[in-house]
Amino acid sequence: MLAPGSSPEQRGRLALQWRQVSWITCWIALYAVEAFPTCPFSCKCDSRTLEVDCSGLGLTTVPPDVPAATRTLLLLNNKLSALPSWAFANLSSLQRLDLSNNFLDQLPHSIFGDLTNLTELQLRNNSIRTLDRDLLRHSPLLRHLDLSINGLAQLPPGLFDGLLALRSLSLRSNRLQNLDRLTFEPLANLQLLQVGDNPWECDCNLRDFKHWMEWFSYRGGRLDQLACTLPKELRGKDMRMVPMEMFNYCSQLEDENSSAGLDIPGPPCTKASPEPAKPKPGAEPEPEPSTACPQKQRHRPASVRRAMGTVIIAGVVCGIVCIMMVVAAAYGCIYASLMAKYHRELKKRQPLMGDPEGEHEDQKQISSVA
C-alpha cells in the first residue's frame, strides 16, 4: 500500500505492475485448464497415462467431454446400444478403445474416421451383425482387433484393406459359415487368427480359405481349430486335416458352370414337337432345325463317405503289405540261420570235400561190400 503522501508517479508504476501480474495470472490459469482438462462425470482419469476409464457405469451414450488428448478410452460393461457417427470426433490421439460387453448392433461407417492413431480396438461380446467395408479405412496403425462373441454371418470384402500393421484378429463365437480368401490376403503381418466356435460349412465355398490357412500356418502364423459343422461326415473335424481329394468335385462344378455360361442360347425346346409343314409341290423340302430337348447329365458330386472309405481301404492295404514284408524278412533271417547251423554240423560229421585219400578209402569199402 502507498503512503498518503505518495506521488502520482509511484501510483502509476504500482498500477502498471498490478496489471502485469493480473495478465500473468490469467495466462497461467488458462494454461492449467488446457494442461489438465476436466474429467467426465463419474469417470476415472489418469493424467500420467492419459487414460479415461468409464467402464461399468451403465452409460447409454459416450460422454461428450472426453479430453482431446486421451490415449486410452475404456467404455466396457455399459449399456451402449447405438453410437452416432460423431461419438469419437476430435479424438485423434486415441490409441486404445474398448467397447466390450455392450449392446451394440450396428456401427456407422465413419464412426472411427478421426481415430488415425488407433492401435487396439475391442468390440468383444456385443450384438454386431454387419460391418461396413469402410469401417476401419482410417485406422492404418491398428494392431489388435477383437470381434469375438457377436452375430457376424459374413465379412464384407475389403474390410481389412490397408491394415498392414494388424497382428492379431479374433472372430470367435460368431455365425460365420465360410470366409473369402481375398478378404484376408491384405493382412501380410498377421500373426494370430482366432476363428473357433463358428458353424463352418466345409464345402466348396471354404476351399480357397483352406488354401490360405495352410499358407498362413506355413509362414508361422498361429491359428486355432476350425471345426466343421457340415457335412455330417466331417462334423467336429479340423478343416486343415480334411484331404484335398474331397474337394475335387468343386473344380468339376466350376468347369460345368463355365461351360454352361458359354452355351449359345437357342430356340426353346418343347416335349411335343410340332408337326412339320407340308412342302409345296415341286419344291425341295428344307431341313428344319431340331427342337428336341437334349438330355442334361446330372452332376453327381463325389461322396464324402466314399472318399473316406477309399482312404481307409488304402491304409488297410498298405498296413497288410507292410506286415507281409516284415514276416517275409523274419522268415528269411530264420531260414538263413538254420541253413548256416545245418552246414556247420554237416562239416563236422563228414570229411572235407575234395580229399583224394578219403574218396579212395570210400571206394574200397564200397567194393568190399559188393
Mean pLDDT score of the chain:
80
Rounded to an integer, the average pLDDT of 90-110 is 95
Answer positive or negative: Cα dihedral of 49, 50, 51, 57. Answer: positive
Q: What percent of the chain has pLDDT over 90?
A: 50
CA angle 26/29/35 to nearest 5° reads 140
Which three cell numbers, joined as nine digits, stand for 336? 538263413
| pLDDT band at 28; cut points 50, 70, 90 | very low
List pLDDT tens digits, range 293-303: 544 444 444 44
pTM score: 0.62
Highest mean pLDDT among 10-24, 329-343, 348-362: 329-343
Higher-scoring residue by pLDDT: 255, 198: 198
Per-residue pLDDT, 48: 94
List pLDDT tens digits, range 305-349: 556 677 788 888 989 999 999 999 999 899 888 888 888 888 777
Q: Using an 8 Å Cβ cutoff, are 168 and 192 in contact? A: yes
Rounded to an integer, the average pLDDT of 211-239 is 90
Per-residue pLDDT, 370: 39
What DSSP string runs through 262-317? TPPP-PPP-SSPPPPPPPPTTSPPPPPPP-PPPPPPPP-PPPHHHHHHHHHHHHHH
Higher-scoring residue by pLDDT: 307, 178: 178
The number of beta carbons lying within 10 Å of the beta carbon of residue 67 is: 20
Q: Using an 8 Å Cβ cutoff, are 176 and 150 in contact? A: no
List pLDDT tens digits, range 182-195: 999 999 999 999 99
Measured distance CA(44)–CA(35) in Å, rounded: 17
- Least reliable range by pLDDT among 21-35, 136-150, 232-246: 21-35
Measured distance CA(327)–CA(243) in Å, rounded: 32
Per-residue pLDDT, 191: 97
Which amino acid belongs to residue 351? P
| pLDDT band at 268; cut points 50, 70, 90 | very low
Measured distance CA(194)–CA(149) in Å, rounded: 12
336 CB contacts (<8 Å, ≥6 apart)?
Answer: none
Higher-scoring residue by pLDDT: 302, 65: 65
